[in-house]
């Protein structure tokens, strides 16, 4: 690896760009506007708008950056747990059977990221999924599962057709 690649890897500006990019992916999945993002990250709406419009980068060492890292980690954990954007959105918009809270609303509270993480860690994904999601009622789940199964088998050398 050349020195140029090493310099880019340790460049703080690159870290800010990567975190901002990952934050934007989380914002899209969680459908957060500037006002909601401001509540989640505990910043003012003008700063959230600057981030969403690309006028400001999120620096990992800042308080906003530290909360952004936790939000990005939550986004990745939700993706790993549920597999599709539709299933993640279902989780975020479905009330908790125990207390009736909706994770998307809980995120906007000061300890919201941690509380949604706790809910995710306490439930079994297969136990949570409503029948409409598990059965692929919207059709999106079955469409995304078939190519993944084919790709997985082709990686292991089995060439089956679906």
Buried b (16+ CB within 10 A) or exposed e, 20-54: bebbeebbeebebebebbbbbbebeeebbbebbee
Above 90 in pLDDT, residue 146? no
Segment 53-80, tens digit of pLDDT = 999 999 999 999 999 999 999 999 999 9
For the ranges 3-7, 97-101, 150-154, the maximum mean pLDDT occurs at 97-101
Number of Cβ atoms within 10 Å of the Cβ of 58: 26
Token digits of residue 72:
């990005």
Token digits of residue 19:
């975190």
> What is the model's pLDDT at position 125?
52
Above 90 in pLDDT, residue 14? no
- Sign, Cα dihedral of 20, 25, 30, 35: positive
Segment 129-145, tens digit of pLDDT = 544 444 343 343 333 33
Number of Cβ atoms within 10 Å of the Cβ of 107: 20
Residues 82, 92, 29, 71, Cα dihedral to 10°: -90
Q: Alpha helices, DSSP H only, in 2-129?
A: 3-9, 12-30, 34-41, 45-52, 63-82, 85-93, 103-106, 112-122, 125-128
* CB-based contact 67:113 (threshold 8 Å): yes
Tell me, yes or no, if the pTM score tops 0.75.
no
User: How large is the angle between the packed helices 85-93 and 12-30, nearest 10 degrees?
Assistant: 70
């Amino acid at each position: 690896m050349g020195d140029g690649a090493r310099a880019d890897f340790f460049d703080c500006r690159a870290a800010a760009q990567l975190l901002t990019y990952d934050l934007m992916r989380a914002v899209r999945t969680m459908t957060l506007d500037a006002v909601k993002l401001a509540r989640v990250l505990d910043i003012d709406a003008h700063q959230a708008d600057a981030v969403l419009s690309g006028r400001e980068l999120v620096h990992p060492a800042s308080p906003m950056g530290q909360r952004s890292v936790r939000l990005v980690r939550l986004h990745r954990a939700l993706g790993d747990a549920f597999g599709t954007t539709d299933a993640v959105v279902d989780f975020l918009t479905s009330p908790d059977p125990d207390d009736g809270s909706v994770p998307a609303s809980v995120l906007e509270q000061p300890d919201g990221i941690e509380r949604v993480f706790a809910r995710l860690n306490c439930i079994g994904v297969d136990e949570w999924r409503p029948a409409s999601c598990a059965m692929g009622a919207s059709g999106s789940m079955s469409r995304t599962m078939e190519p993944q199964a084919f790709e997985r088998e082709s990686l292991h050398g089995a060439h089956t057709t679906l």
